């Protein structure tokens, strides 16, 4: 059983379970592993601007340099920029210090291989073993690693995205950067497409990252877009900008399911929809599945999480995948989810088709989809409680084949998540409330 790595790297409350000592040990383990492969390793490091980012970046970097690896500091930059730059520069690895959409006090460590993809389970398990092991002899004198800034790679990432797509006719785009990693580069990237860009929460602020803003709270973005009127759209990133959601000109939310519904036929026209298929998680809306089936697009279903989507893409040969949360993978363009890339592709689609975002998202009408989450003491135990599983089965029977009930532990937070979807909103709401009440009772009994 893995002790440190979860579904998306190592994550936890910074300076508590994700301590600088652990971050240093991760840097040591990674540096020693890379050092066994031959030449002096070079590792890129970026962060999303959280208050604990400097602390953990320094600790990971110190661990790497203690093994003889050189560190290139990217500063505050989106997670996908680290992945792209790692591959483009030919670095040995990339490290991102971020907890994505998690609360301010959390942080995390994500690691990318030289191909720009996140480490596999086997590679993470090898690092875990090295963290617990005795460690290798450390170099002295000129063998110790050094660090330097890597500003040129930041600008190369901006140029890479800005050169995609077709020119726009000064479309009004309001961008919510969530006080996070998109803030230093979002205006440059989207302005390069011809968009007229207004930023909300548009600078890194570790005290407010993800707080009532960004892709986890679209309310302020919706108000800003409605104020600008016809022809404007909104785009919201999470803290590390690996996902994006949108708001149409009426201030209505555009989910990741809507984005997949728009992108799949458009990708097919451009020849990017390999093998006429997409990968979706179990949370994808049933109406999206029906719409794709009508258009002859195959669907591969996965567990929740981008690592499972990527695994499915590699197995099926498909090149497009996504989650309702706005985490999209388009492997012809990026090795990982990239919110800025999603935004550029969306603007490209709208510019090419001449549609408004409201018109484009009308490709299907979603079934009512309700989600709720509750903090619990032992999420693993609760998720397997036979009383909860029995209740889920009974509620699924109540919904019938046109609806779905999902209960799962969060991969990154101490939460149990409930999702209910079906044609009847009232029934879905009653099922959600019943299950949340049961989870509360079971948690209190176990506490």
C-beta of residue 387 within 8 angstroms of C-beta of residue 437: no
User: Which residue do the tokens 């007229």 mark?
Assistant: 196
Instruction: Point out the residues of the chain with pLDDT beneath 70.
Output: 1, 166-169, 447
CA gap 428, 253 in Å, rounded: 20
Reduced to 3 states (helix: H, G, I; strand: E, B; else coil), residue 198 is: strand
**Structural domains of the chain in order of their starting residue, each with its CATH number:** 5-152 (3.40.120.10), 163-361 (3.40.120.10), 369-446 (3.30.310.50)
- CA 133, CA 362: separation in Å to the nearest integer? 55
Token pair recorded at residue 430:
């009653």
Catalytically annotated residue among 100, 255, 334, 410: 100
Place of tokens 């009512």: 368
Rounded Cα–Cα distance for residues 100 and 242 (Å): 8
What does the pLDDT read at residue 202? Answer: 96
CA distance 373 to 416: 6
Beta strands in 394-438 (DSSP E): 404-409, 415-421
CA-angle at 241, arms to 404 and 377, nearest 5°:
50
Q: How far is CA 340 from CA 42, 223, 255, 270, 344, in A?
A: 26, 21, 15, 20, 6
C-alpha span between 178 and 101 (Å, rounded): 9
pTM of the model: 0.87
∠ CA 159-54-210, rounded to 5°: 70
In this prediction, residue 204 carries a pLDDT of 96
Q: Which residues contact 292 (CB under 8 A, 6 or more apart)?
A: 261, 264, 278, 298, 299
Output the pLDDT for position 447: 58
Is 100 annotated in the active site? yes
* Residue among 407, 419, 404, 327 at smallest CA distance from 370: 419
CB 274 within 8 A of CB 318: yes
CA-wise closest residue to 10 among 98, 78, 134:
98
Q: Among residues 116, 160, 77, 101, which one has the least CA distance to residue 341? A: 160
* Whole-angstrom distance, CA of residue 185 vs CA of residue 205: 15
In the structure encoding, which two tokens stand for residue 389, read together?
Answer: 């599983």
- Report which of 337, 334, 104 is spatially closest to residue 211, judged by C-alpha positions: 104
Q: From 53, 105, 48, 101, select the one nearest 78 (Cα to Cα).
A: 48
C-alpha–C-alpha distance, residues 233 and 50, integer Å:
28
- What pLDDT sits at residue 304? 86
Closest C-alpha among 118, 115, 108, 111 to residue 95: 111
For residues 179 and 192, is the Cβ–Cβ distance under 8 A? no
């Amino acid at each position: 059983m893995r002790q440190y790595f979860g579904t998306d790297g190592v994550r936890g409350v910074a300076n508590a379970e994700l301590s600088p000592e652990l971050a240093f040990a991760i840097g040591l383990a990674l540096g020693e592993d890379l050092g066994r492969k031959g030449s002096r390793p070079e590792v890129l490091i970026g962060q999303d601007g959280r208050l604990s980012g400097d602390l953990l970046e320094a600790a990971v970097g110190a661990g790497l340099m203690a093994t003889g690896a050189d560190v290139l500091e990217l500063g505050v930059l989106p997670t996908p920029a680290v992945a792209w730059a790692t591959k483009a520069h030919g670095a040995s690895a990339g490290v991102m210090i971020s907890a994505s959409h998690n609360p301010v006090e959390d942080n995390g460590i994500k690691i990318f291989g030289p191909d720009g993809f996140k480490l596999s389970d086997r590679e993470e398990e090898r690092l875990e073993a090295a963290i617990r092991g005795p460690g290798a002899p450390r170099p002295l004198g000129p063998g110790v690693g050094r660090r330097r800034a890597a500003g040129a790679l930041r600008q190369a990432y901006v140029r890479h995205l800005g050169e995609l797509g077709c020119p726009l006719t000064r479309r009004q785009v309001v961008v919510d950067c969530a006080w996070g990693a998109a803030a230093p580069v979002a205006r440059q990237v989207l302005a390069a497409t011809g968009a007229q860009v207004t930023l909300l929460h548009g600078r890194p602020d570790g005290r407010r990252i993800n707080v009532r803003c960004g892709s986890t709270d679209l309310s302020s973005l919706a108000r800003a877009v409605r104020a600008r009127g016809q022809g404007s759209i909104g785009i919201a990133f999470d803290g590390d900008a690996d996902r994006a959601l949108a708001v149409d000109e009426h201030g209505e939310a555009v989910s990741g399911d809507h984005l997949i519904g728009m992108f799949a036929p458009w990708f097919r026209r451009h020849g990017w929809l390999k093998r006429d298929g997409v990968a979706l998680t179990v949370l994808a809306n049933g109406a999206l599945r029906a719409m794709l089936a009508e258009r002859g697009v195959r669907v591969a279903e996965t567990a929740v999480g981008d690592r499972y989507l990527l695994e499915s893409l590699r197995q099926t040969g498909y090149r497009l995948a996504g989650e309702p949360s706005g985490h999209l993978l388009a492997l012809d363009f990026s090795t990982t989810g990239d919110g800025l890339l999603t935004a550029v592709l969306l603007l490209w689609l709208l510019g090419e088709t001449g549609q408004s975002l409201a018109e484009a998202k009308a490709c299907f009408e979603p079934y009512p989809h309700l989600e709720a989450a509750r903090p619990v003491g032992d999420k693993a135990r609760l998720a397997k409680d036979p009383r909860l599983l029995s209740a889920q089965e009974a509620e699924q029977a109540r919904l019938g084949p046109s609806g779905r009930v999902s209960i799962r532990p969060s991969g990154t937070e101490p939460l149990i998540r409930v999702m209910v979807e079906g044609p009847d909103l009232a029934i879905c709401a009653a099922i959600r409330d019943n299950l949340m009440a049961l989870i509360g009772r079971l948690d209190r009994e176990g506490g």
